[in-house]
Each structure stands twice: as C-alpha cells, then as structure tokens.
Amino acid sequence: MVSTRGSATDTGTAAPESSTPAKRAAGAKAAPAKRAKRGNGTSLNGERARDREVIETAVQIFWEKGYASASVQDVADALGMLKGSLYYYIDSKESLLRKIFEDSHSEIVALTEFVTEVDGSAMERLERFLRDYAMWTLTHLERAGLYSREWRYAGPTLKATLTEQQTYYDTHLRDLIVAGQAEGALDPQVDPRRASAFIWAAYTGLPDWFRPSGRHKAEDVASIYVDLALRAAGRYSSGSPYSTS
Amino acid sequence: MVSTRGSATDTGTAAPESSTPAKRAAGAKAAPAKRAKRGNGTSLNGERARDREVIETAVQIFWEKGYASASVQDVADALGMLKGSLYYYIDSKESLLRKIFEDSHSEIVALTEFVTEVDGSAMERLERFLRDYAMWTLTHLERAGLYSREWRYAGPTLKATLTEQQTYYDTHLRDLIVAGQAEGALDPQVDPRRASAFIWAAYTGLPDWFRPSGRHKAEDVASIYVDLALRAAGRYSSGSPYSTS
Amino acid sequence: MVSTRGSATDTGTAAPESSTPAKRAAGAKAAPAKRAKRGNGTSLNGERARDREVIETAVQIFWEKGYASASVQDVADALGMLKGSLYYYIDSKESLLRKIFEDSHSEIVALTEFVTEVDGSAMERLERFLRDYAMWTLTHLERAGLYSREWRYAGPTLKATLTEQQTYYDTHLRDLIVAGQAEGALDPQVDPRRASAFIWAAYTGLPDWFRPSGRHKAEDVASIYVDLALRAAGRYSSGSPYSTS
Amino acid sequence: MVSTRGSATDTGTAAPESSTPAKRAAGAKAAPAKRAKRGNGTSLNGERARDREVIETAVQIFWEKGYASASVQDVADALGMLKGSLYYYIDSKESLLRKIFEDSHSEIVALTEFVTEVDGSAMERLERFLRDYAMWTLTHLERAGLYSREWRYAGPTLKATLTEQQTYYDTHLRDLIVAGQAEGALDPQVDPRRASAFIWAAYTGLPDWFRPSGRHKAEDVASIYVDLALRAAGRYSSGSPYSTS
DNA sequence: GATGAATGAGAGTTCATTCAT
DNA sequence: TATGAATGAACTCTCATTCAT
C-alpha cells in the first residue's frame, strides 16, 4: 500500500491550479460538456498533442539559460512558434516552471514510495533509494538541475510548495538513515539530519558535470554516488564497495 | 602537485574586462577623463568610501532575491540612494556580480594557499582545508551561496572565468584526497575525482539551511561537515570523529 | 415636420460595411463562395439559428464588462463555444457591436415612427414617445445602456453612423417639444434644443440604476420619468401627475 | 466649518495608495530622510514638475479615445516622451485614471461642501449647487466626461470607490431637493430619489455636446441647465427663469 | 557625490482573427 | 457547424543605463 506520509505528496500534485485546456469553461449557458477527455486527440491525462513537447523544450531552455534569463521568446523559438502562440499551451511563464516542478516532484515521490514498499533491510532500502534517485537525476539532468537550482526564482506560493517538498524528501532520507543506524549498519555517531542534507546537496551537483554523451555510464556514476553517500552516512566498511551493481 | 600562488589568483582577477577608463578610451572624442580612480580619498586598493558598503549590500540583495530577479533599484533602495547614483560606484549590474565573485575567489584562494603551506600530513592539510572552507562558507553565507548558485546568470566571459576557478578548487581538493590516499589514510577505492565533486557540492548546500542566528554554532557545523566529507573521502575509521575541534 | 419612415431607418442600416462575401470578392483567387448566406435552414431575414443567441449574449457580456474590456473569448465562453467557432456567426468584434446598435436603432426608429402616426395632440404624442422610449430602455436595459455608453469605442465609420442616429432622435424629440409649445401646452421659454439634450441624457441614466428584479415596476418608473421629462420640458402644471398610467 | 457628512469625502481622497514619488522608499539601511517635500523642485503637495502635465494630457487622450482604447503609448506620444519614460511619473495606467478621478472627486466635494455653508434658503443652495456643478462640468469637460463615463473600465477596487462617491453626490442632491420641498418651494409630488438620478444623468450629457469654442457661453448653458433641472425637480413656476445669472 | 529625468530595448501577456480539418 | 492550433500585432510594464545639473 502506498503510504505517502500524509500530505506531503498532495501538496505538490493537488490543486494544480488548472492547467491550460480547462482554462475557459466558467461561462454561462451550460456549455454542452466541453472537451470530452478522450477520443479527440487528447491523451489519457488530458494533455494535448504538443503539451509534452512544450514542457520538455522549456526544461531544456530554462536549464541552459537559467529560468530568469530565459525568455518566453526563447522557448517559443525553440518550438518554432511565435511567443504569442505559446500561450495557447501555457498560462504563464511561471506556470510552466510549476508544471516542470510538479512533474519532477511526482517522479521523485514515486521513487520514494516504491522504496518503502521494497522488502529487505533498511540498508537495502536506503541503498535502493540512493541509487534510484541518482539514476533519476542522471536521466533527467536538466529537469533535476532546474528543480534543485531555480526554486529561488519561483513566486512565493510556488516557493512555499517547493520548500514543503524538499522537507519531505529530506525527512525520507533521514528516516532511512535512522533506520540504518537502528539496524546497526550505520555508525550512530553520524547526525542523520546533517548527513541527509549533505548527501542531498551532493547529489544536486550531478547535473553540473555529468554528460550523458561522455564516457561514463549513468549506472556507474550512480554506483559511485551511492557508495560515497553511504560512506558519508557512516556505513561500516564492508569489503569491496562496487559489488552491488 | 598544486601550483598555486601566482597563477591561481590571476585566474580570477586577470582580464577584469575593462572598467570605465578603458571603455571611454574607445570613444574618439577624448572625453575629459571623468574621475581619477585613485588619489583622492580612496583607500589602498582603489576603493572609495562606500565601495564596500555597495558590494556588501548587493551581496545581500542578490542572495535574497536572486541576481536575475534583483534590480539595480533594489540595491540602490537598500543603500538609500537613487539608482542613478549607484552608477557612480559601479559600471554595470554584472560588474557588481563580478566584483562579488572576485572577492569570493580571492578569499578561497587564500584559504587554499594557506593550506599548502601548513606543515603536517596530507590528511591534516585536507582536514584543515575542509574546515577552513566550511567556516568561510558559514561566515559568508550569502556570498558563498551566490558564488555557487548564480554563476548561471553571468555573461559568457565571466562564466568562463568562473568555470576556471571551479576547476582550480576541484583540482585542489582532488589533489589533497590523492595525497591522503598515497599516505594510506584514505581508502584508495574512492575515486578522488568523484569524491571531490561530491564533497564540493555537499558544501554548497550549507547556505540553504544554516542560519547564524540559529542554535547551531558555525564551528560545530563545520566539524560535522568535515567529518561527513572525510567519511565520503574514505577515511579509515579512527575512533571518535569530533576530537579535532 | 419630421420626415421619417424611409430615410431615417436607412440612416443606420445603410452601408453595412460589407459583410463577408464582399470582403472575399476583393481577393483575386476566386475563392469557392464559402457559404451561401441564405437558403439552408435560415429564417426570413437571413439570420441563422443561433444568430440571435449570439447577439443577445454579446449584449449581455458587452454591457457587463464594457465593450472594450470584453473579449471575443468571453462571448464565446458564454455561448459555450470556442472563439474560433464564433467567427462562423460574426465577421468581427465590431460587426457584433454594429449589429447590436442596428437592432437598437431600428427599434427606436419604430417607436418614433409609431408616435408620428398616433392621433392626438402634440402633447399626447410627446408623452407617448417619452413613455415608449422609457419602456424600451427599461425592457432592454443592456442594449440601451450599450447604445448610449459605448459608441465611444466604435470605429470611425460606425461612430459617424451613430452620430447621425443620435441627431435623428434628438431632432425628433425637439420637434415634439416645439409642437407642444406651439400648442400652448409647454412653456415657450424652454429652449427645445437644450431640453431635448437634457431629457435624452437623463434617460440614458436608467440602465445604471434600474434593476428589473427590484421592487419598482418598469411601468411606474416610466411614468415617473415621463413626468420628470415633461416638467423639464416646461409643461404647465396640470394637477396630479400620475393620472396617466 | 467643513462638515463633510462623515466618511464620504475620505473614501476617495484618503489612502491614495502612494502616488509616484514615494514609490521607492521601503529599502533597508535607514535612508537619510529621502526627498524633503519642499525646496527642491517639488511644489507644495509633493508633485513634481510634469506631474500635472501628465495628468492633464492623460485626461485629454482618455476622453478622446476612451480609456480602454487609449494606450499608454498614446499618452506618452502626446507628452513627447517614450512610453517607458511615462512610468517615471505613473505607477500604472489605471493609477492614472484613479488620480484623475480623485481630482474630480475632490473638486466636486469642494463644491458640495461650499454649498452647505452658504446662507440662504434650501432653494438658493440647491440652485447654487446646480449652477456650480454645471459650471464645473463645463469648465472641466473632459475630466467630467471621463468621470461619468469610464468608471466601467476601472478595476474592482476603484469601481467600488467610485460607486461610493456617486452615492454621496446623489444623496447630497436628493437632500437638497427634500429640503426644497420642505420649504414649500418644490412640488412634493416629485420623487426626490428619481429626480436626483434624472438630473444627475442629464448633467452628464453636457460633455457630449458642449464645445467651449462654440457660440454658447458656459455661463448661459449653466443657467439653462439649472432651469431645466429645477423644473424637473418641481419648482413652482416663478416668473421668468433666467433672472438669476 | 548624488539627483532626477529620460531612454530604449525587451519582457510577459492578451487578443482579434484566420484556417485546415 | 464547430474545433483547435496558430498568427501577429499591440499592449502594459520593467529595467539597466545615461547624463545634465
């Protein structure tokens, strides 16, 4: 069962403040059941054809230039449309950022929840989480980079949401470390609170240097980061580190 | 081996991208040499009375709002002057950022160089560096935060300089780790390149949560981070960690 | 004397500024005569099924938000269709306004003409007109309000037409007052020109405060306004005013 | 003494939501008493040199084109500056409208209050008010026209304020009529509420046709309108009407 | 040193309108 | 009939920067 530790998950995903399509509905006259959610060019979750394309492009541009420096024009250019046209897909520049963040959040939450369901020791779950999260970061470099770097440029409401989300992740990691200590697999002298922050920050550095086109495979980098993180977390030395992957 | 002193410092300071005079020289008219940069009530290094105040205020504002979101107006407001007046002290908004970065760079380079002169084992030097850098970050939270977060918003020239500086720090830390391994004090199975990046990124997380007004003393936090970093770097467990401070 | 019938009506309706077909004719290519304006399920006067609905909805929206503030989107929303679809019914936003104005004009002209045919004294005709026009305003609040308030936002051509129409009404009312004076029923010291403008403007205030759902019946309000208007026009006091209704 | 009938006056004039100059003050650092209110190019009430010019020009443009149709560009053009420069003087387009309305309101309130202080019968005060208000309208045609026509395009907050102000005027006029009836100078069969609305609306028609350059003097038009208004209000016929001016 | 006014480029956003399907 | 996507122009507003005083 999916126990999401209360409201944390909802925070980000709930109340998505109505993205694009439903935008215009509040009219009078009882409109004849506008826009059936399926069967007319829209996919399962109500996204229209280019919705994803728009978001992915924005991720790219925002990460390259920085959210604040990137203009709506830049995104439109990359999409090959006029900036005015872009507003058919988005509500505002910040709503784009919000959508991007929401996507990231859901994905990380999914990771998180998956791990809690995994059978095995706390250490196995911790390692699994560290690996999954590293892999997610490495396979979603730009999105992950944005998520960890650009919250400073979010408006107050969005920023509040993001802070809550960060707290959720941090708590999750801390709990895993605490469990590892309880199991006797991690040095109890390590402060779980600090270790969690330390590791989390260390992971956010990945998008700064990793290049998927480079000579290092994402899996290997993930293994290395898991090892480094577990060392920081106080794992008692257990022979060769890279036996896991 | 780490060749510092000369070259390292220059890296950041060299090519200051022409302050005012050079700029004016380009104009044909031979403008009447507006203001001599030194010799009339300026301190040693060419700084005028409120130059420092301007920079420190900018650090504060840029960190609070993010460089790209902060306006020159914001800085001027905080200084109690009109934005027009601010241009008596600065050449451009980015030059302010550059100056801030240059200051940070010099200070970190000083730390770096000091450590290379210290007598003692590689591990002692490594630990000393990790502690000094943690303390610098903790005592210059905003400046340190800006330096590690906002380089994305620098212009191409400045960005290139910053990349060079980052490489320098990274190399320095890596060399210390390598030396530690050579000494037999660090687990050689740890990849110094990754460990360096890992630790460096972890440290940049400090300004996000540490509050000097909080109940944790900077010295204690520094000790904890040194410990976490050394664990990640593969220090062979050596009894109680916090015996150093 | 008031020469009406033919000319007056034409004033407003003439020069309808080329609806779609004419426009297309201008294009060289000989486009395939998109849609025949009549003959396929249209009522007598060339109006298609939802044409009226479109107009009435537009009246509502334009009055609520102001013509200039209301968007085509707003109207489409209220109709439960997409704004693109609305252009099947209209040629342009302003053409909608024009149509609304034309309708108002025809109706007021009808009132006007009816009165000229009525048997009785000038005063009876004047009173009848004042009452009919008050009733029309009170039963077409939004349309009447638009007509008197939003001509400022019409394009130059339409504005010229509207001015002509205003002049026609004004002349009509003035003539009635003059006739009343000639009959000896109105104080000749009253300037018919000013009285006409005064009364006309006073009437345009009705949509600002009258609410059909309120406790005042339209008929009563009409009677009161007729009385006020006749007083302003210089009616010699003739006992109790409200004996008419 | 100036008795303003309670809060009505304050409503519009109080809390002017900080007009232009003080805009930037909330900075930190205890700025050295920014902008002394007098002696450095600013007039008594804190207005800078071109502030008035800006407002008067805006009145002109807004009246000619309609507030919603007029662009900030239009106003700037008329002032001979770039639209960006205009924002040195104003906070927003609507704030300009607000300022204009505030000015109108204060002036009308002044009229109103003056009349309450005048010695004499209720009828004399009523007549005086009708004349003064007519004269104000005639000498401030555009401003008066804007005030009575364009409130529809104000934002919700401003609109609420305007409604309150309208109520205040309306009440004032109604009270004068009631007093006139009590004095036995006005026909008590006239409904003061309706008469007030009727007259007020009639007056708002003035800017639509009066041209100061025309052959009618403002004073004469005012006299005529006073007469028409008093007739509507039920003045018992008292010989020749134009004896007042 | 500092002010106040102005510049000019560009940002995000809205909107009437078009058109292939 | 209606949709959904796109256009392009205009709009309000912001901001780094300049400069005469």
DSSP string over A90-153: -S-HHHHHHHHHHHHHHHHHHHHHHHHH--S-HHHHHHHHHHHHHHHHHHSHHHHHHHHHGGGG
Output D243 or B104, whichever has higher pLDDT.
B104
- Written as six digits, the tokens of A213 are 């086109």
The CA-CA-CA angle for residues B153, B155, B159, to 5°, reads 85
Residue of C nearest to A26 (CA): C77
Q: Find chain B residues with C-beta within 8 A of D24's C-beta.
A: 73, 76-77
pLDDT digits (tens, 9 = 90+) for A173-222: 999 999 999 999 999 999 999 999 999 999 999 999 999 999 999 999 99
- The answer to whether the CB atoms of C78 and A27 lie below 8 A apart is yes
Mutate to test the interface with D, among C198, C206, C221 (most CBs of D within 10 A): C198
Q: Find chain B residues with C-beta within 8 A of A234's C-beta.
A: 231
pLDDT digits (tens, 9 = 90+) for B203-244: 999 999 999 999 999 999 999 999 999 999 999 976 545 544
Reduced to 3 states (helix: H, G, I; strand: E, B; else coil), residue B150 is helix
Mutate to test the interface with D, among B72, B77, B79 (most CBs of D within 10 A): B77
Q: Residue B178 CA to E15 C1' — how many Å?
A: 63
Largest CA distance in chain C: 72
Q: Find chain B residues with C-beta within 8 A of A209's C-beta.
A: 197
Which pLDDT value is given to residue C173? 97
Task: Answer yes or no: is A97 within a domain.
Answer: yes
Of D197, D228, D229, the CB nearest to C205: D197
Q: D197, D175 in Cβ contact below 8 A?
A: no
Q: Residue D146 CA to E7 C1' — how many Å?
A: 31
The CA-CA-CA angle for residues B196, B199, B200, to 5°, reads 80
- CA of C232 vs chain D CAs: smallest distance (Å): 4
pLDDT band for position D33 (cuts 50, 70, 90): very low
D152 touching C (Cβ < 8 Å)? yes
Mutate to test the interface with D, among C153, C187, C228, C230 (most CBs of D within 10 A): C228
What residues have CB less than 8 Å from D75, skipping those under 6 apart?
A: D54, D57, D58, D61, D62, D83, D86, D96
- The answer to whether the CB atoms of A29 and C78 lie below 8 A apart is yes
Q: D68, C66 in Cβ contact below 8 A?
A: yes
Q: Find chain B residues with C-beta within 8 A of D32's C-beta.
A: 80
Task: Give the per-residue SS3 of C73-111.
Answer: HHHHHHHCCCHHHHCCCCCCHHHHHHHHHHHHHHHHHHH
Q: Which nucleotide is nearest to A85 (CA to C1')?
A: F6
Q: Find chain D residues with C-beta within 8 A of C151's C-beta.
A: none
- CA of C75 vs chain A CAs: smallest distance (Å): 8
Question: Which residues partner with B188 through β-bridges?
Answer: none
How far apart CA D186 and CA D173 sit, in angstroms, is: 13
Chains C and A are in contact, defined as 3 or more C-beta pairs closer than 8 angstroms: yes
How far apart CA D50 and CA D79 sit, in angstroms, is: 10
User: Helix crossing, C93-117 with C122-139: angle to 10°?
Assistant: 150
Chains B and C are in contact, defined as 3 or more C-beta pairs closer than 8 angstroms: no
Please list the pLDDT of chain C residue by residue as tens digits (245 residues).
333 333 333 333 333 443 333 333 333 333 333 444 444 444 555 566 789 999 999 999 999 999 999 999 999 999 999 999 999 999 999 999 999 999 999 999 999 999 998 889 999 999 999 999 999 999 999 999 999 999 999 999 999 999 999 999 999 999 999 999 999 999 999 999 999 999 999 999 999 999 999 999 999 999 999 999 999 999 997 654 554 44
- The answer to whether the CB atoms of D28 and B78 lie below 8 A apart is yes
Name the percent of chain B lying above pLDDT 70. 77
Which pLDDT value is given to residue D8? 36
Q: Which regions in chain A score pLDDT beneath 50? A: 1-43, 240, 243-245
Which pLDDT value is given to residue C237? 73
pLDDT digits (tens, 9 = 90+) for B137-177: 999 999 999 999 999 999 999 999 999 999 999 999 999 99
Task: Answer yes or no: is A37 within a domain.
Answer: no
Q: Residue B240 CA to E7 C1' — how many Å?
A: 65
Mutate to test the interface with B, among A169, A187, A198, A224 (most CBs of B within 10 A): A198
Mutate to test the interface with A, among C62, C77, C79, C82 (most CBs of A within 10 A): C77
CATH number at residue C205: 1.10.357.10
Q: D38, D44 in Cβ contact below 8 A?
A: yes
- The answer to whether the CB atoms of B80 and D34 lie below 8 A apart is yes
Q: Residue B73 CA to F17 C1' — how many Å?
A: 12
Rounded to an integer, the average pLDDT of D190-197 is 98
CA-based nearest residue to A161, from A172, A173, A147, A143: A147
Among residues 53-72 of chain C, which lie with CB inside 8 Å of chain A?
57
Domain count, chain D: 1
Q: Which nucleotide is nearest to D82 (CA to C1')?
A: E7
How far apart CA D92 and CA D102 sit, in angstroms, is: 15
Q: Residue A81 CA to F5 C1' — how many Å?
A: 11
Mean pLDDT of chain B, nearest integer = 84
What residues have CB less than 8 Å from A200, skipping those under 6 apart?
A: A169, A170, A173, B205
D234 touching C (Cβ < 8 Å)? yes
Q: B83, B73 in Cβ contact below 8 A?
A: yes
pLDDT at B5 > cutoff 90:
no
Q: C190, C234 in Cβ contact below 8 A?
A: yes
Task: Give the per-residue SS3 of B11-80.
Answer: HHHCCCCCCHHHHHHHCCCCCCCCCCCCCCCCCCCCCCCCHHHHHHHHHHHHHHHCCCCCCHHHHHHHHC
pLDDT band for position D49 (cuts 50, 70, 90): confident
User: Helix crossing, B192-204 with A192-204: angle to 10°?
Assistant: 110
Which pLDDT value is given to residue C47? 64
Altogether, the residues listed in chain B come to a count of 245
Q: Which chains touch A (3 or more CB pairs under 8 A)?
A: B, C
Which pLDDT value is given to residue A49? 76
How far apart CA B225 and CA A191 sit, in angstroms, is: 10
Sign for the CA dihedral angle at B94, B95, B100, B104 comes to: positive
Map tokens 């308030």 to a residue: C149
CA-based nearest residue to A68, from B62, D203, C187: B62
Q: List the domain range (segments joined by +) for residue A190.
A: 92-239
Which pLDDT value is given to residue A237? 74
Chains C and D are in contact, defined as 3 or more C-beta pairs closer than 8 angstroms: yes
How far apart CA A222 and CA A132 sit, in angstroms, is: 8
Residue of B nearest to D31 (CA): B80
Please report, as a single letter, which amino acid is at residue D110.
A
Altogether, the residues listed in chain D come to a count of 245
Which pLDDT value is given to residue B222? 98
Sign for the CA dihedral angle at D143, D146, D151, D153 comes to: negative
How far apart CA C95 and CA C18 sit, in angstroms, is: 10
Task: Answer yes or no: is D66 within a domain.
Answer: no
Which strand F bases fall within 7 angstroms of a protein CB?
1-20
- The answer to whether the CB atoms of B81 and D26 lie below 8 A apart is no
D94 touching C (Cβ < 8 Å)? no
Task: Answer yes or no: is A53 within a domain.
Answer: no
What residues have CB less than 8 Å from A68, skipping those under 6 apart?
A: A150, A153, B66, B68, B69, B153
Q: Find chain B residues with C-beta within 8 A of A198's C-beta.
A: 202, 205, 225, 228-229
CA-based nearest residue to A59, from A185, A147, A183: A147
Q: Is B6 exposed, middle or buried (0-12, 13-18, 19+ CB in 10 A)?
A: exposed
Q: Residue C105 CA to F3 C1' — how many Å?
A: 35
Which pLDDT value is given to residue D219? 97
- The answer to whether the CB atoms of A29 and C79 lie below 8 A apart is yes
Q: Which nucleotide is nearest to D72 (CA to C1')?
A: F12
pLDDT digits (tens, 9 = 90+) for A174-184: 999 999 999 99
Q: Residue D94 CA to F21 C1' — how many Å?
A: 33
Task: Answer yes or no: is D56 within a domain.
Answer: no
Which pLDDT value is given to residue C46? 57
Task: Answer yes or no: is A146 within a domain.
Answer: yes
Of C194, C201, C242, the CB nearest to D224: C194
What residues have CB less than 8 Å from D84, skipping those under 6 apart?
A: none
Which strand E bases fall within 7 angstroms of a protein CB?
1-20
Q: Which chains touch B (3 or more CB pairs under 8 A)?
A: A, D
Of D66, D228, D240, the CB nearest to C153: D66
Q: Residue A72 CA to E11 C1' — how many Å?
A: 8
Residue of A nearest to B221 (CA): A194
Chains A and D are in contact, defined as 3 or more C-beta pairs closer than 8 angstroms: no
Task: Answer yes or no: is D87 within a domain.
Answer: no
Of D200, D229, D234, the CB nearest to C205: D200
The CA-CA-CA angle for residues D135, D139, D140, to 5°, reads 115
Question: Which residues partner with D186 through β-bridges?
Answer: D235
Of C191, C221, C229, the CB nearest to D224: C191
Please report, as a single letter, which amino acid is at residue A129.
F
Task: Answer yes or no: is B75 within a domain.
Answer: no
D118 touching B (Cβ < 8 Å)? no
